[in-house]
Amino acid sequence: MPQLGLCCLFQEEPIKFRVTTARHLGTLSLSGRAAKLSTLCLHNAQALRDAIHFCSRHGIGAFRVNSRILPLKTHPDFGYELHQLPHGAEIEGCFLECGQTAAELQIRLSFHPDQFTLLSSPNPEITRKSIVELAYQAEVAEWIGADVINIHGGGAYGDKASALKRIARAIEQLDGAIRSRLTLENDERVYTPSDLLPLCRAHQIPFVYDVHHHRCLPDGLTVEEVTGMALKTWNRPPLFHISSPKEGWGQPNTNRHHDYIDIADFPDCWRQLDITIDVEAKAKELAVAQLRRQLAGI
DNA sequence: AGCGGTCAAGTTGAT
DNA sequence: ATCAACTTGACCGCT
């Protein structure tokens, strides 16, 4: 049976990750900024530790770490290094503990940089900033032992073939910490599995199969076909995504995520696989628990 | 204490 | 040409 993964947040369990805004930091003195960021980062490292324990206690096999675990880490004006913060060493130590605990409890950790992180852009400055973002997440990934940093293809810019070539070129220039963790996922608007799988095969990048996106943006391949092709791209346990449409299928907008997973949306061919499935549902740990019960036939 | 406006980033597609 | 939707809630300033 697959391991189920929880994404970033909790619905009921009181584990919170804190953030701040650039605007607010701008109102503070230099030392005030460092103090504020230090407090938030330490809080978030401890919250991650709590999240890992929660997953272990509740039969959840994976946890996706929010991109803002270190708030504004790569912001052009307010970015920082951990050693510049009053509790920098303590924060790093807490992340290292998270890594040990996750390894002991066998909780798989991953990252999913958001839509601003693009390797397909024709604008080199956007690519450069994206790689800075990937480097930040890779640094935390090293501390905590996360093995996946998953991104989308991004835009097509009117010429998908050229955009795919830019992704490939950028991938070949990544350093090992990023490269060894980077994965590509099909999205609901531009890049289908058919678009990404050849690139993944050619450059040894694992393919994260999101079946909901595939149903929103089909490419002629069946769920079974893509599942088989996706599995072959992995040199470690495969990671897939599941979600259900908020308003149901056949409505104008199927992109929005439902609170829970409709078991009818869960591919039968996934039931016996040794894979991790991130559950993208707004009810968070409650949705994972419900899906877990349904898969167990309870 | 409670409320509501606001929040770094890029691209697409609806209007 | 403009703007919401992606993720999505939490923060902060004001009353």
Which bases of chain C are contacted by protein, using any atom under 7 A from a CB? 5-13
CA of A158 to C1' of C1 (A): 19
**Does residue A261 fall inside a structural domain?**
no
Rounded alpha-carbon distances, angstroms, from residue A219 to A99, A222, A238, A245? 38, 8, 21, 19
**Does residue A204 fall inside a structural domain?**
no
CATH at A11: 3.20.20.150
DSSP state, A63?
E
**What's the mean pLDDT when you consider all of chain A?**
92
How many CB atoms within 10 Å of residue A162? Answer: 12
With a 7 Å cutoff on the CB, does A154 touch strand B?
yes
- For the segment A112-146, what is each residue's pLDDT rounded down to a tens digit? 998 899 999 999 999 999 999 999 999 999 999 99
What does the pLDDT read at residue A254?
A: 65
**Does residue A20 fall inside a structural domain?**
yes
The pTM of the full predicted model, rounded to 2 decimals, is 0.95
**Full residue range of the structural domain in which residue A49 is found:** 1-110
Which bases of chain B are contacted by protein, using any atom under 7 A from a CB? 6-13
Which two three-digit tokens encode residue A13?
Answer: 């369990």
With a 7 Å cutoff on the CB, does A68 touch strand B?
yes
Residues 76-105 of A with CB under 7 A from strand B: 76, 79
For residue A56, pLDDT over 90 is answered with yes
A156 φ, ψ to 5°? Answer: -105, -20
Half-sphere exposure for A176 (CA within 13 Å, toward CB): 1
User: What is the percent of chain A with per-residue pLDDT over 90, rounded to a whole number?
Assistant: 79
**Does residue A41 fall inside a structural domain?**
yes
Nearest nt (C1') from A115 Cα? B10
Buried b (16+ CB within 10 A) or exposed e, A97-123: bbbebbeeeebbbbbbbeeebbbbbee
With a 7 Å cutoff on the CB, does A137 touch strand B?
no
Identify the top-confidence range among A12-16, A30-34, A90-94: A90-94
**Does residue A99 fall inside a structural domain?**
yes
**Does residue A106 fall inside a structural domain?**
yes
**Does residue A12 fall inside a structural domain?**
yes
Which two three-digit tokens encode residue A213?
Answer: 């996106």
**Does residue A185 fall inside a structural domain?**
no
- For the segment A126-135, what is each residue's pLDDT rounded down to a tens digit? 999 999 999 9
With a 7 Å cutoff on the CB, does A195 touch strand B?
no
Print the SS3 string covering A75-132: CCCCCCCHHHCCCHHHHHHHHHHHHHHHHHHCCEEEECCCCCCCCCCCCHHHHHHHHH
Q: Domain count of chain A? A: 1
CA of A298 to C1' of B4 (A): 43
Q: Are strands A108-111 and A239-242 parallel, antiparallel or unpaired?
A: unpaired
What does the pLDDT read at residue A248?
A: 67
- Pair A163, A130: CB distance under 8 Å: no
Per-residue confidence at A98, pLDDT binned at 50, 70, 90? very high
